Amino acid sequence: MNASGAQEDDRMQDLKDFDKTEAGVKGLVDSGLQKIPKIFVRPAEELAEDLNHKSAQIEVPVIDLGGLEKADRRKQIVEEVRTASETWGFFQVVNHGISLNVLDEMLDGIQKFNEQGVEKKKKYYTRDNMRRVRFNSNYDLFTSRTASWRDTLNISFSDPDQIDSEELPALCRKSTVEYSKHVGKLGNILFGLLSEALGLKPEQLENMDCSKGLRLTCHYYPECPEPELTLGIATHSDPGFITILLQNQINGLQIFFQNQWVDVQPIRGALVINIGDLLQLVSNGKFRSNKHRVVANRLGPRISVARFFSGPIGMDKVFYGPIEELISEENPPIYKEVLLSDYLMKFIDSGLDENFLVNYFKV
């Protein structure tokens, strides 16, 4: 066996040993380690490339949803959503109708879940994607180039109204059920605004089942002793239609915009909205699904909760392609129609750092 083959074997054994602990990155931190394990260290060329992309001191758009029921104000908000979706693919919303109490309790529940005893968390530790509630570290641990500095609680239900609270961990059960109700309503409001921003009827995207299903991905990023060597989440774009992200007050999320990394500064009570690959596809490239990542931090824990709107996952023969009303001789389709189940399976089977799905489906 050559040296590179032996190194790969050693790395795979290290990954298996880490996974076998079922304690995640939090377990490493609790052990008192001062240096991060090799499986988390990014390749030298990646680290060097980061030096060429300075972080920029510009702000992601912030959109105030207050007064949405007034026609003139709604028109103004739709225009702000359109501009942000075409240029950044990201914006933050304030006055969105979800109380600070609901947001804080959701974050607090996720923190409590991650900071309970390891034996209690192990009950949920799995790599079986069919489980509706699953805890692990790095869903792509064995396919990505390097592991990322985070642990994750995933919650998936095909019908948001059927969320079975008994399956949810007790420490975050009540807060998750409550938050899910509110964020689902906000998702439908946003789909209305995005539909209008595309020049379509307000109900168009919702009628396409973009808001079907419930998928919450709750990340816990412990403090890191060598944050400059790793990432909390590798550079990627989101596969669904939109993502609504709740985050605590610790920095980490960055967007790649105009060839530079831009920090998304946490705003108390705000939610981050980003366009996913499927919305870029159905809008025929009018809206932009932008690359983003989360950097590791000496401070912790950073906590975030992403609500992914990815369409009716689990249903047979659901296809998405560029919306007919957005296609013309002057604006021909630039993407193929895709089968939703195949599209999302491609995402699951690849490393997160390889996923820019729209690139695979260009005409």
pLDDT tens-digit profile, the chain (363 residues): 455 566 777 999 999 999 999 999 999 999 999 999 999 999 999 999 887 776 667 899 999 999 999 999 999 999 999 999 999 999 999 999 999 999 999 999 999 999 999 999 999 999 998 899 999 999 999 989 999 999 999 999 877 777 777 899 999 999 999 999 999 999 999 999 999 999 999 999 999 999 988 899 999 999 999 999 999 999 999 989 999 999 999 999 999 999 899 999 999 999 999 999 999 999 999 999 999 999 999 998 999 999 999 998 777 789 999 999 999 999 999 999 988 888 877 776 665 655 566 676 787
Q: Token pair of 166, please?
A: 């008994």
Domain extent listing, the chain: 3-361
Topology of domain 3-361, per CATH? Jelly Rolls (2.60.120)
Q: Token pair of 273, please?
A: 């909205």
DSSP element (H, E) containing 112: helix 100-115
Are 244 and 187 in contact by the 8 Å Cβ rule? The answer is: yes
Category of 36 on φ-ψ map: left (φ > 0), alpha (ψ -120 to 50) or beta = beta
d(CA 106, CA 120): 19
Are 26 and 135 in contact by the 8 Å Cβ rule? The answer is: no
Cα Rg, the chain, nearest whole Å: 20
Q: What angle do helix axes 71-87 and 173-197 make, rounded to 10 degrees? A: 90
Instruction: Write the CA distances from 341 to 14, 225, 315, integer angstroms.
Output: 32, 39, 8
Are 234 and 40 in contact by the 8 Å Cβ rule? The answer is: no
pTM (two decimals):
0.94
Q: Token pair of 29, please?
A: 């931190």
Instruction: Write the CA distances from 4 to 8, 9, 18, integer angstroms.
Output: 6, 9, 21
Closest by CA to 354, choosing from 221, 274, 239, is 239
Give the count of beta carbons closer than 10 Å to the beta carbon of residue 359.
9
Residue spans of alpha helices (H) in 231-352 = 277-282, 340-349
